[in-house]
Amino acid sequence: MSRILIAEDEPHITRFLVKGLQAQGYTVAQAADGNDALVMARTGQFDLLLLDLGLPGRDGLDGGADDYMSKPFRLAELLARVRARLRPAHSSEVFVLSHGDLSLDLRTRQAQADGKIIDLSAREYALAEMLMRHPGQVLSREQLLSHVWGYDYDPGSNVVDVYIRYLRNKIGAGRIATVRGIGYRLVQPPGTAANPVSPVMPAVG
């Protein structure tokens, strides 16, 4: 299990990151200033450091950074970059998620259903990817909202329901089930043969 150190001084962002990373099976530790982050990083106990460049105590620690993201950011994009950084060099990456006759190409960002190519907007794609990485699992509106729209979202927004409707119109209404009062889950439409999802990385969590 990979261990990730978060160096961030804004509590709401830290909570957002901890929740999202732990949901993916990562072990997470936190540091609220640069000095603590440096001490913890030097222990060699962590596989990855997520670092805010504007930390109190020690500003930066930017030497040798492999990647960066500007704020605000989406959890989906962050998780994709985390997986890429933690992926073993010898592993073979799978670029297509599939569930029955529904597939999602992670390179072209296109879906295919019933043999037809479907173009998705950026939000529709992120929503479809989240659902296809957790087939059959009920995902709450809060989970989908934070994953696709980021940490500064409005929890009272109905944007998830709106985009679920857009996605259903494109991939088929029977593929996304509503779990009343909770959220949504990806299901196998009646009359189609089921086959397991093919993830980019082994399923965790």
**In the predicted model, is pLDDT for residue 60 greater than 80?**
no
**In the predicted model, is pLDDT for residue 194 greater than 70?**
no
Q: Please write the tens of the pLDDT for every residue from 62-85.
A: 556 777 888 888 888 888 889 888
Domain range list for the chain = 3-86, 96-186
Q: Please write the tens of the pLDDT for every residue from 7-48.
A: 999 999 999 999 889 888 899 999 988 889 889 988 888 999
pLDDT at 61: 74
Q: What is the DSSP letter of 181?
A: T
Q: Which residue spans within 37-119 are E strands per DSSP?
A: 48-51, 96-99, 102-105, 110-113, 116-119
Query: How much of the chain, in percent, has pLDDT values that exceed 70?
Result: 86
Q: Which CATH code, of 3.40.50.300, 3.40.50.2300, 2.60.40.10, 3.30.300.30, is assigned to 3-86? A: 3.40.50.2300
Average pLDDT over residues 157-177: 93
Closest CA to 21 of 43, 3, 39: 3
**pTM exceeds 0.75, yes or no:** no
The Cα–Cα gap between 196 and 100 comes to 7
Confidence label for 175 from pLDDT (cuts 50, 70 and 90): very high
pLDDT at 155: 73
Average pLDDT over residues 130-149: 89
* Residue of 29 and 1 predicted with greater confidence: 29
Reading the block at residue 173, the tokens are 């209404």
pLDDT at 186: 95
Within 42-111, residue ranges assigned H as helices are 75-86
Reading the block at residue 156, the tokens are 């009272």
Confidence label for 199 from pLDDT (cuts 50, 70 and 90): very low
Nearby residues of 63 by Cβ (< 8 Å), 6 or more positions away = none
Strand order, beta sheet including 3-7: 27-31, 3-7, 48-51
The Cα–Cα gap between 17 and 59 comes to 20
Closest CA to 82 of 151, 22, 12: 22
Where does residue 202 rank: exposed (0-12), middle (13-18), buried (19+ CB within 10 A)?
Answer: exposed
Q: Please write the tens of the pLDDT for every residue from 145-161.
A: 888 888 777 777 899 99
Q: Which residue spans within 19-70 are E strands per DSSP?
A: 27-31, 48-51
* Residue of 201 and 59 predicted with greater confidence: 59
The answer to whether 3-86 and 96-186 have equal CATH topology is: no
The Cα–Cα gap between 69 and 174 comes to 36
Average pLDDT over residues 48-73: 78
The domain made up of 96-186 has a fold known as: Arc Repressor Mutant, subunit A (1.10.10)
